A and B are shown apart, each in its own frame.
Chain A
Amino acid sequence: MAVVSTAVVGVAVVVLVPKAPGWKRVEASFFAGDVFADVFPGLLRAFWLDVKIFAWSAPCILALAMLIALARNVRSPALFPLRLLAALYTDVFRGVPVILTIYLIGFGIPGLGLERPWNSPLLWGSMALVLAYSAYVAEVFRAGIESVHEGQRAAARSLGMSSRQTMTSVVLPQAVRRVVPALMNDMISLQKDVALVSLIGPIELLRQADVDKSLNANFTPYVAAAMIFLAVTIPLTRLADYLLHRQRRRTGATAVA
């Protein structure tokens, strides 16, 4: 049944859309085969920069987010200011649109007139991504930590384990396992938001597509760029869904969002 209905809808789209009055114009400016063949290799090369930004930002995000989550979890009253600071951090960076963070940091800090390499928009753009995303990811980690039952902590502490040993050997392994699907989703968003860094200069995929669009007076480069993003994000999304599904089945519980 699902197959039949999918086929019907598919055929309808293929047959009916080209019958629309403006289709010829749209086809010429969005699906021009020659423009596509022309710009595609250059776009792929530009995408390599997205991959690089992602590759160095993601580990920094995970590490910083973990530190913030741990800071939000400290129980000692003496360290309360740390806890407050971490809470403030997540509130601020989650409350500001990512793109604004990139503008403020990416234009602001190089504007201080620093020497190379400290004036690179690529560096500060990536930094802005790290700051913004670690606030989101910290909340994911924190939810994971809080989802570990208090009895686990009590059991570990009662055996004489320190609070640090309890965290690293008992709480975190369980917490991280639970949030893997949610982390995957954040990483997929990051993969897309890397393109925002282009707004402060670096020529990555989106920016390159912009340039190609102007040169060719044609929107096909955007379609090509979208296809490149999808080629990466769709498999990742499927993987994340699969992990989530497997986890639900295994624990019989809903994972932490």
Chain B
Amino acid sequence: MNGNGVREVALPKVELRHVTKAFGERVVLDEFDLVVDDGEVVCLIGASGSGKSTVLRCINLLEPIDDGEIFLDGNDIAMPGLDPDPIRQRIGIVFQQFNLFPHRSVLDNVTMAPRKVLGRGKAESAASATVLLTRFGLRDKADAYPDQLSGGQQQRVAIVRALAMRPEVMLLDEITSSLDPELVGEVLDVVRELKREGMTMLIATHEMAFAREIADRVCFLHDGVLLESGRPSELFDRPQQERTRQFLARVTGVTAR
């Protein structure tokens, strides 16, 4: 929908068209297509090395693409020469390894970008950070340093840090993969909460049960190509592609949680 009175089909929030990305000789994404609608939660599944992280890093402009287009609200954001910083502010990403800033307190981790990038005042950014930290049960950790927190707490801080920029899309890259099993739940709860709020999310995950539960759509990647996508019930229960069936048989056989 736009303002000129003409009804249009709603633009996708994020769209990748024929995105190609190679590291040296190795083609990691091959004419990759993907659409994420506003408010939609899409999970990317696939074997290690299939390109899930690369998709997320390309959308966040952390990796330059070799060919194709990436649209955010209909605007091509991957055009060479565009300033990536204002675009990245609108897209939050959370990494498997948390990547918190170890030399700064939790509160400083969360307020750094709002202050430096958006020019927010110290008190103002601290107040909104505290609201977010409180909501995710981290209020009493505001003055702690990252190495004083459990992995689950660190990852929740990393999510809060991304949310503090009020992103329109969240990209989550295997955010529970380096956590002890008993800490996975608290982080997934945060993701559930974000879904309730209507956050648009693209989630790379190895947690099939979680993907089935949270995703509006699941995409199966194989060798840098989106082989198959569908509602969780379709993709998990009635996979169309032989590769998808093999992958699901392998992971559900091994990682029944």
Query: Chain A residues in contact with chain B, CB under 8 A?
Result: 149, 151-152, 154-162, 165, 169-170, 173-174, 177
Give the docked Cα–Cα distance between A173 and B101 (Å): 10
Q: Which of chain B's residues has its CB closest to A160's CB?
A: B89
Within 69-99 of B, Cβ neighbours of A (below 8 Å) are at 84-86, 88-89, 91-93, 95, 97, 99
Residue in A149, A155, A161 whose Cβ sees the most chain B Cβ within 10 Å: A155
> A151 — which chain B residues lie within 8 A by C-beta?
95, 97, 99
In the assembled complex, B11 has its CB within 8 A of some CB on chain A? no
| A159 pairs with B88, CB closer than 8 A | yes
Give the docked Cα–Cα distance between A157 and B101 (Å): 12
> B162 — which chain A residues lie within 8 A by C-beta?
158-159
> A160 — which chain B residues lie within 8 A by C-beta?
85-86, 88-89, 113, 117, 165
Query: Chain B residues in contact with chain A, CB under 8 A?
Result: 57, 60, 62, 84-86, 88-89, 91-93, 95, 97, 99-103, 112-113, 116-117, 158, 161-162, 165
Q: Which of chain B's residues has its CB closest to A162's CB?
A: B85
Q: Known: A169-B112, A174-B103, A177-B103. Contact between A161 and B117, CB under 8 A? A: yes
| A154 pairs with B103, CB closer than 8 A | no
| B92 pairs with A158, CB closer than 8 A | yes
> B161 — which chain A residues lie within 8 A by C-beta?
159
Give the docked Cα–Cα distance between A155 and B101 (Å): 9
Smallest beta-carbon distance B15→chain A, Å = 20
Pull 29 A–B residue pairs with CB atoms less than 8 Å apart, ordered by A. Answer: A149-B99, A152-B99, A154-B57, A154-B95, A155-B100, A155-B101, A156-B101, A157-B84, A157-B85, A158-B60, A158-B62, A158-B92, A158-B93, A158-B162, A159-B88, A159-B89, A159-B117, A159-B165, A160-B85, A160-B88, A161-B112, A161-B117, A165-B116, A165-B117, A169-B116, A170-B101, A173-B103, A174-B102, A174-B103
Smallest beta-carbon distance B112→chain A, Å = 6
Smallest beta-carbon distance B194→chain A, Å = 17
* The 9 residue pairs across chains A and B that have the minimum distance between CB atoms: A160-B89, A159-B113, A155-B99, A151-B99, A160-B117, A160-B88, A158-B93, A160-B85, A165-B116
Smallest beta-carbon distance B159→chain A, Å = 12
Smallest beta-carbon distance A111→chain B, Å = 48
| A152 pairs with B101, CB closer than 8 A | yes
Give the docked Cα–Cα distance between A149 and B84 (Å): 21
Q: Known: A151-B97, A165-B116. Contact between A158 and B103, CB under 8 A? A: no
Give the docked Cα–Cα distance between A174 and B86 (Å): 26
Smallest beta-carbon distance B212→chain A, Å = 28
Give the docked Cα–Cα distance between A162 and B87 (Å): 12
For the A-B complex with A157-B85, A169-B116 known, give 8 more contacts whose Cβ atoms are closer than 8 Å. Answer: A155-B99, A157-B84, A158-B88, A159-B117, A159-B162, A160-B85, A160-B165, A162-B85
Q: Which of chain B's residues has its CB closest to A170's CB?
A: B101
> B95 — which chain A residues lie within 8 A by C-beta?
151, 154-155
Smallest beta-carbon distance A99→chain B, Å = 39
Give the docked Cα–Cα distance between A173 and B105 (Å): 13
> A155 — which chain B residues lie within 8 A by C-beta?
95, 99-101, 158
Give the docked Cα–Cα distance between A187 and B93 (Å): 42
Q: Which of chain B's residues has its CB closest to A163's CB?
A: B85
> A170 — which chain B residues lie within 8 A by C-beta?
101
> A173 — which chain B residues lie within 8 A by C-beta?
103
> A162 — which chain B residues lie within 8 A by C-beta?
85
Give the docked Cα–Cα distance between A160 and B116 (Å): 9
Give the docked Cα–Cα distance between A156 and B115 (Å): 13
Residue in B86, B116, B165 whose Cβ sees the most chain A Cβ within 10 Å: B116
> A177 — which chain B residues lie within 8 A by C-beta?
103
Smallest beta-carbon distance A147→chain B, Å = 12
Smallest beta-carbon distance A248→chain B, Å = 15
> A149 — which chain B residues lie within 8 A by C-beta?
99
| B62 pairs with A154, CB closer than 8 A | yes
Give the docked Cα–Cα distance between A38 and B99 (Å): 62
Q: Which of chain B's residues has its CB closest to A173's CB?
A: B103
| A161 pairs with B85, CB closer than 8 A | yes
Smallest beta-carbon distance A172→chain B, Å = 10
| A157 pairs with B103, CB closer than 8 A | no
Q: Which of chain B's residues has its CB closest to A150's CB?
A: B99
Smallest beta-carbon distance B231→chain A, Å = 30
Smallest beta-carbon distance A169→chain B, Å = 6
Give the docked Cα–Cα distance between A157 and B112 (Å): 12
